[in-house]
Chains A and B, each alone.
Chain A
Amino acid sequence: MVKALRQFKKGILDENPIFSQAIALCPVLAVTTSIVNGIGLGLATLAVLLASTLVVCFIRHFIPAQVRIPCFIVVSATFTTVVSLLMEAFFPALNDALGIFIPLIVVNCLILARMEAFAAKNPPLAVAFDSLGMGLGFTLALAAIGAVRELMGFGTVFGLAVIPEAIPRNILMILPPGGFFVLAFLIVAARAVRARVGKGEA
């Protein structure tokens, strides 16, 4: 159980998919113009990740090693379809805002990476915790980037105005370049924090 919890924590902190591994960046830059969008896509990805890594974990003994990648992709495509239909039915507004990035979850490198590196070799419980950790780490990263961009671009947090009207908004933050800049500085911040924490321990 302790080991499982460590798996869980690893994805959120030490091996955060965005800030440490710098994978799965496309949706990160595209949809994080607000916190809600970021969390929405993060949770959708988490659902697909959890479901498909568990399925891969259970069927791994039946998959021939040579064709495992196509099999993994079919599994994640199945769950992506399920999630995209559910989003369309229950959260139509969010679905419209996220657009093609919901179907694009299927080619999210994070999912394929966890299937290949972890789910195909470990027991179900560890896989579940690993996927939850990685998925939550991904969601938190998206929310953080979304928060910075929403605050600076629209002057709002969760849609509520917090910066007075008199202060001009920085439209650039909402446009594609803002995503690149915010991500760059958040990765630098994460590195700085890690360097300091690492020094404290040693």
Chain B
Amino acid sequence: MEMILVFISAALVNNFVLSRSLGICPFIGVSKRMDTSLGMGLAVTVVMGLASAITHGVYNFVLVPLGLTFLHIITFVLITACLVQVVEMYLKKNSPGLYKALGIFLPLITTNCAVLGALLLNIELFAGSMLLAVIHALGAAAGFTLALVLFSGIRERLRYSPVPKILEGVPLAMLVAGLMSIAFLGFTGMITL
């Protein structure tokens, strides 16, 4: 039961993009078409899930016993970077179709603050349980994908609408995101962890 609550809380109530303001760059940058948004969401899900299992283990079994927790930022970033590289090589060899579909999104994930944010929050909220940490990360990734896909759907429509010239591009995207964020406020208080 707790697992379901953690998942829903990360995906909807504390949606990473719309409530925590994490991962805004890919949200604005790669959300012009729905299929690319889905690709980005998929790539983030894979990396986030794997990275939170590994970093949680490394933090609790290596950094804490050695008293090196102050190195956690460097450690987490490097683990994410390596992982992205490994996932990229694996996909290239074993699933060229998916590799092609994800293409440029994979390397971008290294500097996606949603990923590092999830890893840091895992340590803060679920220091004791790796399973909950991974579920939290997967929920966060699902929420990220959901927000990205919904947003790209709106943007696909907006492309054919007449908008004032001065609003074009980022400001309009921001306004749409603000309205979506208000919609997601509706989930507030649904689950309190």
Contacts and interface: CB of A to CB of B under 8 A. Distances in A.
Contact of A26 (B22, B70, B179): B22
What interface size band does chain B fall in? 35 or more
A180 B178 contact: yes
15 contacts: A24-B25, A29-B21, A73-B81, A74-B77, A81-B73, A104-B22, A107-B113, A175-B185, A177-B178, A180-B178, A187-B170, A187-B171, A188-B166, A191-B166, A191-B171
B103 interface: no
A181 B175 contact: yes
Main secondary structure, interface of A, reads helix
Most chain A CB neighbours (cut-off 10 Å) among B74, B78, B167, B185: B74
A85 interface: yes
A125 interface: no
Interface string B107-138: 00011110011001100100000000000000
Nearest to B121: A100
A12 interface: no
A92 B4 CA distance: 34
Listed from nearest, the 8 A-B pairs whose CB atoms lie closest are A180-B178, A184-B174, A30-B21, A29-B21, A177-B181, A77-B74, A184-B171, A25-B24
Interface of B: 18-25, 28, 70-74, 77-78, 81, 110-113, 116-117, 120-121, 124, 166-167, 169-172, 174-175, 177-179, 181-182, 185
A116 to B, nearest CB: 11
Contacts of A30: 20-22
Contact of B21 (A107, A108, A179): A179
Interface of A: 22-27, 29-30, 69-70, 73-74, 77-78, 80-81, 84-85, 100, 103-104, 106-109, 112, 172, 175-181, 183-185, 187-188, 191-192, 195
A31 to B, nearest CB: 8
B81 A103 contact: no
Nearest to A102: B73
A188 B116 CA distance: 31
With most chain A CB atoms within 10 A of its CB, the pick from B71, B74, B113, B120 is B113
Contacts of A108: 113
Give the residue among A77, A107, A183, A192 with the most B Cβ atoms within 10 A: A107
B120 A180 contact: no
Given A25-B28, A180-B174, 13 more contacts: A22-B170, A70-B78, A77-B77, A80-B73, A81-B74, A103-B73, A175-B181, A176-B21, A176-B185, A177-B181, A181-B174, A187-B170, A192-B166
B29 to A, nearest CB: 9
Contacts of A22: 28, 169-170
B179 A177 contact: yes
B48 to A, nearest CB: 14
Contacts of B120: 100, 103-104
A117 B28 CA distance: 21
A141 to B, nearest CB: 13
Interface centre among A25, A112, A180 (most CB of B within 10 A): A180
B77 A106 contact: yes
Contacts of B182: 172, 177
B74 A74 contact: yes
Contacts of A187: 170-171, 174
A77 B76 CA distance: 10
